Amino acid sequence: MNQDIFLIGKGQTPFGEHWDKSLKNLMDEAVTAAIDDAPINALDIDFIVVSNMLGERTNDQAHLGAMASSLLPHRPPAIRTEAACASGSVAVHTALSLLESGRAETILVVGVEKMTDVSTDEISSALMGAADSEKDIPSGLTFPGIFGLIANRYMHEYGLTKEQLNLVSARHHANGVSNPNAQFRSAIPAEKISESPNVADPLCLLDCSPVSDGAAAIILSNNHESPIRIAASQLSTDTLSITDRPSLTSFPATKDALDRALEEAEITRDDIAHLETHDCFSIAAVINLEDLGFANPGAGIQLYEADNPTPTINASGGLKACGHPVGATGVKQIVDLTKQLTTSNKRYALAHNFGGACATCAIHILENTDA
Amino acid sequence: MQHKMQEGTIISFTTISHPPKGFENQPRTIGLIELDDGKQVLGELNLSKLIATSYKLIGYRVKPHTRLSRINEQGLRIYEVCYEPLAQKPMETKKEFPGYIVALTGPSGVGKTTISKLLTSQISIYTVQVPILTTRKPSDQDENEYTYIDAKKFEVLKKQGKLAAASNIPSTTDTRWYGYRKSDIEKIWEEGKIPVVITEKGLLQDLSRHFGRRSILSFGLLPPGNSKRMMLSCLLHRLRQRGRDSEASIQDRLKNAQQDLEFFEQKSHLFDDLIVNEDVDAVFNALKGRVLEVVSQ
């Protein structure tokens, strides 16, 4: 960051199945909540960045920038970002870049996705758009399938058992109980995870984040202050297809983005008090902890075996319990971390959001300047 | 599709309970296959014949077939390559962690032998050099790092599965096989020490398949130089200077060296550290540090 940029407002809809609300209703609800939360009025917003992946396929709706802009009385300029499940964090990254460039002073970022209006077949096929249409799709692979391949390889290389892996979803569900915006708010014991139907061996239904509707919004500004400052924003990419990767058990884009983010924030990993990581599938959370350097390769699961890990991991419930409206998730992670920092009065929190099999990865570090 | 018609090895697999629309509505097993040319592809695994259970497929060899994959919305029949696992023993059998092996990989002349000698003499209480099995003829220049064996016997050991790694290093004059016996490596582990091997791409890949990648403390040694051309000329200089090889053999070695340097990039996941051998003592100290780290675990 070449200047101080603050998060001055945040809001979200509960994530879940919102059959009575349209894409626009969801967007409106999150935007209204964020503006209400901020010490500004709507007219202070001079740019909007919308994140969404699937509008055309699931809602017959493109052109979401203009849609978002129409929600405000003065219709500020607006754009949309798409980077599969990382769309949200890429929108934040884009907004920060616009602020740094001097193009805008107060930006509304809103992530929105409405996935439950179409059939499972349709949503599953739409999500495969995040993979490589030439190399990955013709085999009949699905996204759970991609992470099934990753999980089997990981288990083979490191001897992780399915019983151990079950701890991941169990922990995220336990965390989700106290989050009023989570899609699922019941604790699910570890042994129930592998009793759920098989999706892509070894992954069961409860190893996968759900299909969800929801929206989340934040307001970023360099001319209004708040205790929460954005200390770093880094973006990294990798090959679209897993067939072009040397290893299935680590995501280099995470490592790359993390190194640069820590450098940008001028802190070390040990300074991070709260982490929200992209647990689209249980195995992803394990690998993420290793790539983020909180565990050695093969030892990520130990943080789920421990009772109170440092940093806190997906205290919101993560994608698993909160739900994963793909375009909204990256923004929602930042909403949650802001709450966590304010409650704990700790100094740093890290949001790790990725798209596809970590073909796009964005990391944001938030600083609580009151701490 | 043509390039997919190759044999290969299963890197991973998964069985999808509900495949996407258009595919047969029954569980579908898909494999990530490393083809023999090194490229990876995804393909359906045809498990009907030989293997009833889909478990432990990783490491199995597969052969390709074309098969009706799906019928699209326009009624077009789409054929794809699918792979049939062969019933032979998987290449990669070890699941448990057997122990560490220090592997030194790099082009000819980069200093593998020198570093290996330093390691196994200076910290001999921890490390032992594994004898290299070779079918090539003894030479006066060899410094007893080799065990010589004739080509037939080598082939027999290979077929019996007694070799943890075997590789044929191209040369214009003859065919030379190099390998490591499983028993030699296991004996060193039994003594509580760490085996040190000198490898090239074939041997390193075999060892990593055989014992598991994380068993290998894998170091790539690079000659000094800012570009590939500079590195190669440095090697040429060293090879000529050490005077062990004929000019023809040096030319062979340089050809292989070029591929070895490319291998570092293509298969970076097979290496823990790439070290530029500018100063032997510095390299030795770096390696010693890593070995002692492992010993102290």
Contacts of B248 (CB under 8 A, 6+ apart): B172, B173
| Percent of chain A residues past pLDDT 70, beyond the cut | 100
Q: Mean pLDDT of all residues in chain B?
A: 85
Higher pLDDT, B140 or A313: A313
Please give the residue of chain B at the shortest CA–CA distance from A123: B20
- Please report the pLDDT score of residue A172 as a whole number: 98
Q: Is the residue at A73 inside a domain?
A: yes
Query: Average of pLDDT values for A49-57?
Result: 98
Cβ-count burial B78-111 (b if 16+ within 10 Å, e if not): eebbbbbbeeeebebeeeeeebbbbbbbbbbbbb
Residue of chain B nearest A202, judged by CA positions: B14
Mean pLDDT of chain A: 97
Q: Which residue of B has its CA nearest to A298?
A: B214
ipTM value > 0.85? yes
Predicted pLDDT of residue B88: 61
Instruction: Look at A149 and B280; give whichever has higher pLDDT.
Output: A149
Average pLDDT rounded to a whole number, residues B170-198: 87
Indicate the pairing of strand B40-45 with strand B61-71: unpaired
SS (H, E, C) chain A: CCCCCEEEEEEECCCECCCCCCHHHHHHHHHHHHHHHCCCCHHHCCEEEEECCCHHHHHCCCCHHHHHHCCCCCCCCEEEECECECHHHHHHHHHHHHHHHCCCCEEEEEEEEECCCCCHHHHHHHHHHHCCCCCCHHHCCCHHHHHHHHHHHHHHHHCCCHHHHHHHHHHHHHHHCCCCCCCCCCCCCHHHHCCCCEEECCEEHHHECCCCEEEEEEEEECCCCCCEEEEEEEEEECCCCHHHCCCCCCCHHHHHHHHHHHHHHCCCHHHEEEEECCCCEHHHHHHHHHHCCCCCCCCCCHHHHCCCCCCEECCCCHHHHHCCCHHHHHHHHHHHHHHHHHHHCCCEEEEEEEECCCCEEEEEEEEECCC
Report the predicted TM-score, pTM, of the whole model to 2 decimal places: 0.73
**Which residues of A are catalytic, by number?**
85, 324
Which of A190-204, A270-284, B124-138 is predicted with the least confidence, judged by mean pLDDT?
A: B124-138
Does residue A304 fall inside a structural domain? no
What topology does CATH give the domain B101-296?
A: Rossmann fold (3.40.50)
What distance in Å separates residue B78's CA from the closest CA in chain A?
A: 9
Mutation target to probe the B interface, by most B beta carbons within 10 A, among A125, A128, A156, A256 is: A156
Contact B21 A145 (CB under 8 A): no
Residue A332 lies in a domain: no
pLDDT category at B89 given cuts 50, 70, 90 is low
Question: Where exactly are the structural domains of chain B?
Answer: 2-85, 101-296
State how far the Cα of A28 lies from the Cα of B241, in Å rounded to an integer. Answer: 76
How sure is the predictor about B96, in pLDDT bands with cuts at 50, 70 and 90? Answer: low
Give the pLDDT confidence of A217-270 residue by residue, as tens digits. Answer: 999 999 999 999 999 999 999 999 999 998 999 999 999 999 999 999 999 999
| Owning domain of residue A71 | 6-119+212-221
CATH assignment at residue A38: 3.40.47.10
* Residue B55 clears pLDDT 50, i.e. is over it: yes
Residue A211 has pLDDT above 60, yes or no: yes
Average pLDDT over residues B48-65: 73
Q: Is the pLDDT of residue B281 over 90?
A: no
- At B93, the pLDDT band (50, 70, 90 cuts) reads very low
The pLDDT, as a whole number, for residue B241 is 83
CATH number of B2-85: 2.40.50
Q: Assess if residue A137 is contained within a domain.
A: no
pLDDT digits (tens, 9 = 90+) for A143-169: 999 999 999 999 999 999 999 999 999
Please determine, for residue B61, whether its predicted confidence score (pLDDT) is greater than 80.
yes
**pLDDT mean over B104-117:** 88
| pLDDT, tens only, B144-161 | 788 899 888 998 888 888
* pLDDT tens column, A14-34: 999 999 999 999 999 999 999
- pLDDT of A68 > 80? The answer is yes
Asked if pLDDT for residue B51 goes beyond 90, the answer is no
Domain count along chain A: 1
Nearest to A139 among B43, B54, B96 (CB): B43
CB contact under 8 A, B269 and A246: yes
A206 vs A184: CA distance, rounded Å: 11
- The answer, yes or no, to whether residue B81 has pLDDT greater than 80, is yes
Name the strand (E) or helix (H) holding B185.
Answer: helix B182-190
Q: pLDDT category, B64, cuts 50, 70, 90?
A: very high
How far does the CA of residue A149 sit from the closest CA of chain B (Å)?
5
Confidence check: pLDDT of B54 > 70 = no
Q: Is any Cβ of chain A less than 8 angstroms from the Cβ of B16?
A: yes
